[in-house]
Amino acid sequence: MILKVEHTTIFEYDSPIYETATEVRLHPDTSLSSPQRCASFKLQVEPAATIFDYTDFYGNVVNHFNILQSHKKVKILATSVVDTGNGQSVAGDDEEILLTDFTGESRYVHFDQGIREFTSMFTTLEDKCQLAEHICREINGTFVYEPGITDVHSTSAVVMALGRGVCQDFAHVMLAACRYLAIPARYVSGYLYGGGSTPDGRDEASHAWCEVYCGKEKGWIGMDPTHKTLFADERYIKIGSGRDYSDVPPVRGTYKGNAQEKLGVSVRVSAME
């Protein structure tokens, strides 16, 4: 499918702030092993700023900019056109050393008592991919999707204890379970077309799911514990991946000044065919 994404982020302040410095991870994944192709990407920032980029440790494209002079509003509009694939990577060319990062705990992914109990229900299968699928189905079936309970900095332990949350939380729980069972797994930030990113079809945020490493042959397989379909398919657009949310936040930045901040985000994904 050819999909167009318009992702708008607006920060508004009740009094002027200054020296905004922001990094955004909004560029669709362009790595060679990715099934999708990014046809175009455009980033617009108001007030105007020079935009720079680099590629981070996990291969994600990072754009960054700064605004020195005082302002009361920052608008970031990312528009991309992507030819999606089937959600499955072409080949698993990742090196063993890098996999180390995806098998341990990380900032939002903890091996707490809750995860140890949760994973005890799975018999350790030979096939890791199958095991991961079981975990994914279990989370999808037993956890309650409910926005507003958790926040952007909730850890897997918190979500385990609550038994509810949103896609970011479910992804973190799945990562904790997989990694605790020694399956390399990583966090994916991206978008989902059709029906909105939430099960009841709203479109106010980007989406998140997991990729599980299924050996050199199959590579990374995308699995989404938030949706019944479980596997990433041609409706999924991947931006990037990392150990957890903290490695791929769509927008992260700092500013100076004393003001109340209001954040507004809208995401629109539309088909171009």
Partner 1 sequence: MLSRVAESLFWMSRYYERAENTARFLDVNFNLLLDLNRITPVENPNYWIALILVTSQKESFDELYPEYNARTVTDYLVFSRENPNSITSCVSLARENARSIIESISSEMWEQINHLYHFLQGTAQQAVHNDPSGFYREIKNASHLFQGITDNTFSRNEGWDFIQIGKYLERADNVARLIDVKYHMLLHETQGKKKISGESDDIIQWMAVLKSCSALEAFRKVYLSKLDPENILRFLILDRTFPRSINFSICAAEDALWRISGSSRHRYVNNADRLIGKMESELGYASIDEIMSEGLHDYLEDLEEQLVRIGEQVHLTYFAYHTPEIEPNGIEEALPFTGVGGGRAIWSQAQQQQQ
Partner 2 sequence: MKRYFETYDHGPLRFFDEVFSKEGTPRPHYGKLLQRFRQFSQEDINARREIINIDFRNQGITFTVYGVDEGIERIFPFDLIPRILPAKEWEILEKGLLQRITALNEFLFDIYHTQKILKDRVVPAELILGSRHFAREFVGVNPPLGVYIHVTGSDIIRDGEGNYLVLEDNLRTPSGVSYMLQNRQALKRAFPAIFGKYKVRPIENYPQELLRTLQEIAPPGRFDPNVVLLTPGIYNSAYFEHSFLARQMGIELTEGKDLVVNNNKVYKRTTRGLERVDVIYRRVDDSFIDPLVFRPDSRLGVAGLINAYRKGNVALANAIGTGVADDKVIYSFVPKIIRYYLGEDPILQNVPTWLASNPADLKYILENLGSLVVKAANESGGYGMLVGPESTLAEQEKFAEMIVANPRNYIAQPTISLSRHPSFINDSELYGCHIDLRPYVLYGKNVTIVPGGLTRVALKRGSLVVNSSQGGGSKDTWVIDE
Q: What is the DSSP letter of 109?
A: B
CA distances from 134 to 30, 38, 88, 128, 194 (A): 29, 32, 18, 10, 25
Residue 173, interface with partner 1 (CB under 8 A)? no
Residues 6+ apart with CB under 8 A from 192: 207, 224, 227, 235, 236, 237, 269
Cβ closest to partner 1, residue 24 vs residue 61: 24
- Residues lying near partner 2 in the complex (CB under 8 A) are found at 19, 21-23, 50, 52, 54, 56-58, 64, 66, 68, 96-97, 100-101, 104, 252-254
Cβ closest to partner 1, residue 92 vs residue 253: 253
ω before 28 within 30° of 0 (cis)?
no
Cβ closest to partner 1, residue 142 vs residue 258: 258
CA distance 165 to 43: 30
The pair of three-digit structure tokens given for residue 36, joined into one six-digit string: 């999708």
Q: Give the residue, chosen from 2, 14, 18, 113, that forms a contact with partner 1 under the rule CB under 8 A.
A: 18
Q: Which of partner 1, partner 2, none does 263 bind, CB closer than 5 to 8 A by kind?
A: partner 1
| Closest residue by Cα to residue 76 from 49, 39, 54 | 49
CA 75 to chain centre: 21
Cβ closest to partner 2, residue 49 vs residue 192: 49
Residue 70, interface with partner 1 (CB under 8 A)? yes
Piece of 12-20, 25-33, 34-42, 123-131 that binds partner 1 (CB under 8 A): 12-20
Residue 87, interface with partner 1 (CB under 8 A)? no
Residue 19, interface with partner 1 (CB under 8 A)? yes
Side-chain half-sphere of 190: how many Cα atoms within 13 Å? 34
The least CB distance from residue 163 to partner 1, in Å, is: 17
Q: Report the interface residues with partner 1, using CB under 8 A.
A: 9, 11, 15-20, 22, 68-70, 147, 150-152, 166-168, 171, 189, 197-198, 202, 204-208, 245, 249-258, 261, 263, 265
